Structure 1
Amino acid sequence: MTDGVVSGAPRVTAAICTYERYDLLPGAIESVLAQSLPPGSFELIVVDNSPDPARSAREAAPFADRPGVTWRHEARPGLSNARNVAARHARAPIIAYLDDDARADPVWLQNVAGCFDQFGEAVSVVGGRIRPWWGAPRPAWLPDEMLGEVTVVDLGPKRRLLADGEWVAGANIAFRIAALRNAGWFDTSLGRTGGGASLLSAEETALTERIKALGGLVAYDPLAAVDHWVDPGRLTQRWFRRRAAWQAVSEYLRDPKAQFDRSDDAWAAVKGYLLTQNPADRTMRGLALHKDDAADFRWQAGAVYNAVIALLAGLDEQDDV
């Protein structure tokens, strides 16, 4: 590999950014330490954004003697900031991010590195398959088209470049650090901060788009795969509605003009949805009622998304005269 690798430096840095997930974090760490790459060819950086540094130190202690592991407590909150901290301390030219509630396959890093090798310097970003690790049975009302909301990614069986409109997810994504630097790092105004009160996202999408605008390509490797925990608390329609609303906020922040320009269409879509509901439910109530049918729920979640876009752009209705 190139990118100005210093002799003796690891080939790839794995990074886990965490916030008070001490129940699941050790499993993520162990899955990285069990990688098939030879010892010394990769390192692991854990960036702990949890608010209690003393607790962080206690949780770090079992890994203090594990070769190649660096544990950093980062007081400034925010996932994007934590990811930037990891990248700035990485010793390898490539950094691969794994969520703290994920488990990497033993050949994860081998295939991340191999994908960069195969496509060469033109590729700046590599994403991999993300399989669901269900914490509870999948609900019947959850359609396949909405699995991406719980970070399920499967773009097929082949290692390849991404086509327009395809995306990879931050639970399993790797970057050339030079590309991160050139694109201005992760935007700290995007991404989640603290616990689950905010579902602001799109930070890796925004960064990837900036990298692509600079000429970098994005690749997908199905063998760079991980299992990602789907918390039972997310398997409710209320959570998916929240996710749709926060996705609208995230995308509005990422590209305000594009979302403003489509706000009339978004508002028309909301009204179109509500007009299909019972007369008593043609209000905000219609965006909150439980749906048994998967297609109906998908339509409702889309209406929630569009309602937030329309509200952010500003509504203006006139009574018919």
Structure 2
Amino acid sequence: MARIAAAICTWNRYDVLPKAIESVAKQSLGKHEYKIFVIDNSPDHDYCEEFGKQFAHIENLEYVVEKIAGLSNARNVATRMCAEQGIDYIAYLDDDAIARPEWLEKILEGFDSFGEEVDVVGGRVDPMWSMPRPRWLGPKLEGYVSIVNWGGELRLAEESEWFAGTNIAFRVDTLQVLGGFSTTLGRTGSGATLLSNEETQLLDRIKETGGKRVYHPDAALDHLVEEKRLSRQWFRKRMAWQATSDFLMKAEECIEQCAGHWENILEYSAMVPPRERTLRGLMYDTDDAELFHWQLSAIYGWNVLNLAGFEGVAEEEVA
């Protein structure tokens, strides 16, 4: 019986999806030891059905057309399939990722090495750049394109170490008990909106129940960094939606930080050229990685301030 399933949730990514499936179909585990669940959320359901037929020869793969849109819902569908089939663990990868041959084997090693209290295993994510890396994309921004490399060896994860949603695995029973991923958070459809935090919220709940996280650098995969994500505009949009996601998840905490956000915005404004010291400064194009990172933090703060109605910021400070 399969111990683990690899789940690929996809939405209109038929150009890259076959390579992701192929990489998971060639794992070092025996075919009877794992399943592959492809949850296709694309809007043309007839085409989904037709497209999925080409993978019928992969004996341990199930291609599911899921008509209810949303990444969180698709992930929950895959989790339920695991529970129904008695599969202990589920590993998620994006439809534009390429798993290394020993990916699932190493994830299982992560769960087996530290006992039943381990609820989460995450691994390394190496970038596949679709274009040369921009100079303004410094190390502090790598997480927003899902680059993960904490180095070292197989170990319990440090408090500050996070995992990317494109390479994360869970104990199925834990997901079932906690209700899975929140469908009020996370992406839906084409990416016009970038709501997130569905993984963060779930990981926080796992931590509260005493669950442990394991990092395995050899549970690795390669992940495409699309050209559309390598623009300052995309990063600004991503940061604005991160503020929205955080506010939805922890509004009171965000409101408490409003005064600090306002101070940060004023300090950032003083660092840009004089003609940019208005709201234009939030769109100022710079190749300086540190200044661009500061700009993004100002955009984040500006969105939190608007969502909070500038609560906690004295009128004289705004004036």
CA distance in 1, matches of 2:26, 2:157: 29
After superposition, what is the alpha-carbon deviation per residue over 1:254-279, rounded to whole angstroms, capped at 9, x for unaligned?
Answer: 21121111121112211221122333
2:60 matches 1:65:
no
2:303 matches 1:311:
no
CA displacement at 1:319 relative to structure 2: 4.4
Q: How does 1:125-274 map to 2 (within 5 A)?
A: 125-274=120-269
2:120 matches 1:120:
no
Q: Which shifted more, 254-263 or 103-112?
A: 254-263
Partner of 2:75: 83
CA distance in 2, matches of 1:195, 1:284: 29
Query: Percent same amino acid among aligned pairs?
Result: 46
Amino acid at match of 1:146: L
CA displacement at 1:65 relative to structure 2: 2.5
Amino acid at match of 2:69: P
Q: 1:314 is paired with a residue of what secondary structure? A: coil
Q: 1:121 is paired with a residue of what secondary structure? A: coil
Q: Which shifted more, 65-74 or 107-116?
A: 65-74
Q: 2:183 is paired with a residue of what secondary structure? A: coil
CA distance in 2, matches of 1:286, 1:195: 29
CA displacement at 1:47 relative to structure 2: 0.3
The normalised TM-score by structure 2 is 0.95
Partner of 1:21: 13
Amino acid at match of 1:50: S
Amino acid at match of 2:14: Y
CA displacement at 1:37 relative to structure 2: 0.4
CA distance in 1, matches of 2:204, 2:176: 14
CA displacement at 1:296 relative to structure 2: 1.1
Q: 1:201 is paired with a residue of what secondary structure? A: coil
Amino acid at match of 1:13: A
CA distance in 1, matches of 2:60, 2:162: 31
CA displacement at 1:318 relative to structure 2: 2.4
CA displacement at 1:229 relative to structure 2: 0.4
CA displacement at 1:280 relative to structure 2: 2.7
CA distance in 2, matches of 1:220, 1:41: 22
Q: 2:123 is paired with a residue of what secondary structure? A: strand
CA distance in 1, matches of 2:57, 2:299: 49
Partner of 1:55: 47
CA distance in 1, matches of 2:155, 2:298: 34
CA distance in 2, matches of 1:249, 1:318: 24
Q: 2:301 is paired with a residue of what secondary structure? A: helix
Amino acid at match of 1:249: T
CA distance in 1, matches of 2:138, 2:271: 20
Partner of 2:89: 94
CA displacement at 1:248 relative to structure 2: 1.2
2:10 matches 1:12:
no
Gaps of 5+ in 1: 1-8
CA displacement at 1:169 relative to structure 2: 1.1
Q: 1:40 is paired with a residue of what secondary structure? A: helix
Structure 1 residue ranges (4+ consecutive) displaced by more than 6 angstroms after TM superposition: none
Q: 1:287 is paired with a residue of what secondary structure? A: helix
CA distance in 2, matches of 1:121, 1:256: 34
The normalised TM-score by structure 1 is 0.95
After superposition, what is the alpha-carbon deviation per residue over 1:54-74, rounded to whole angstroms, capped at 9, x for unaligned?
Answer: 110111011112101101111
Amino acid at match of 1:65: H
CA distance in 2, matches of 1:81, 1:273: 39
CA distance in 2, matches of 1:165, 1:266: 22
CA distance in 1, matches of 2:53, 2:94: 20
CA distance in 1, matches of 2:307, 2:157: 31
Amino acid at match of 1:265: G
Tell me the number of residue pairs that the alignment of Structure 1 and Structure 2 aligns.
313
CA distance in 2, matches of 1:269, 1:87: 42
Structure 1 vs Structure 2 CA RMSD? 1.3
Q: 2:7 is paired with a residue of what secondary structure? A: strand
After superposition, what is the alpha-carbon deviation per residue over 1:67-124, rounded to whole angstroms, capped at 9, x for unaligned?
Answer: 0110111111110000000000113110000100000000000000111000111110
